[in-house]
Structure 1
């Protein structure tokens, strides 16, 4: 389950998608075997050689620190596909307003951080709750766009729409059920950037649905990309609009799905994160 271009939700059949890590013990193929009778002079030569190699490795790693990501949040140049989302060490935000991160840096990195945070908020369980939604929208969108999106989202998440998800008019699940809408940014890239505006693509995965006995919309995994248009206003990045498209999605695994009880407990026990670059 994921938001449509008009702010609503699109429902279709999804399969759980998990990342499986290699299992089992890993032995060290380079571990030295036990050998006896080594002369002290030979041991000394080996120790000196190791020390020299370590010093050379450290010097090489520290040479030209700008080869990785830039510490000033500017345009980053790193080798490999992961360079676009490598961490810089710059603190992402200075504070929060109503639980929503704010105070993003006026840099490309700051715009990406803002977009990643907005993605988690705009596709969350809170956005379905009218009272909470009316707090979120003014914090996420510019003052010029907030009224427009408030009307759009109120219309999209109508009482009739919520009932199809098994929720009441306040966006709450029935007794014994838990509605799940947890979005996790996997990566972000700025497709356009200037000091006053930006467009950022945020690749996301997440868990969406209602956990509980008798649920007609069980919790499933989804993969999608959100494009968020940003504007620098009043000393911070705010959204001017957003859209969403499916994928890219990896191959489904054969990992068995957890029970509705386990999913409900996970949502209650594990809090969300403030996302950063």
Structure 2
């Protein structure tokens, strides 16, 4: 094995925000649950440290990880390992970002989401500007709800031009062409997110060079396919790694469909697949779709 990308999601399910579109809003983990999450994360970090092949990691917690010291510490420690190519996390940026100064900025990356109504605009923007000044790779995004449009336009105007602002299609929402065009003005790659991708039978990197791992070390091909490939810690997953087509009818989440080979998104996001930062400008990500 030359390189393995891992999407890690431990038991953590608590969040400090109350977004109406999220089932984990304002959920609190018990002290016992937090201790279990910390132990699971430290075990995973130790496993990564002991590898003799290249590894990249994206933390995709149900809750907000960066308010917990063990996630900040894991990101710093993993970024300092010579065989780790990239370590990234999805976050709402509610916590301070000064801790990033301890990490290797060439390897650390943040996938940040702005949630209007949950945080003062200037506070969130200030965090983004602080990351930019520190040279920390990050993308910034927002959910494409109609009530978020003004905030998205303001954010695009205020963010540095080099910061990619992505727009996620709201779950279950249908966008007519005029509405989609409005969001595409903000995020030229919005057409990729607009509709679920037909995926059954398509070649996908998950299950071969990309896997999903939970707090117990259970390995699946991705977060959205429940079948188990084995366990991380006993190595039983290794024999199951192989090219395999997607078994689902559709894939509607970026952390899933970015790995579908026919979409060509590894070219679009070259060097920034985990943190959702596109590299190629002026090239259409999908046939017939708008270009960046």
TM-score higher than 0.5: no
Larger Rg: 1
Higher relative contact order (CA 8 A, sep 6+): 1
TM-score bin (small chain): under 0.3
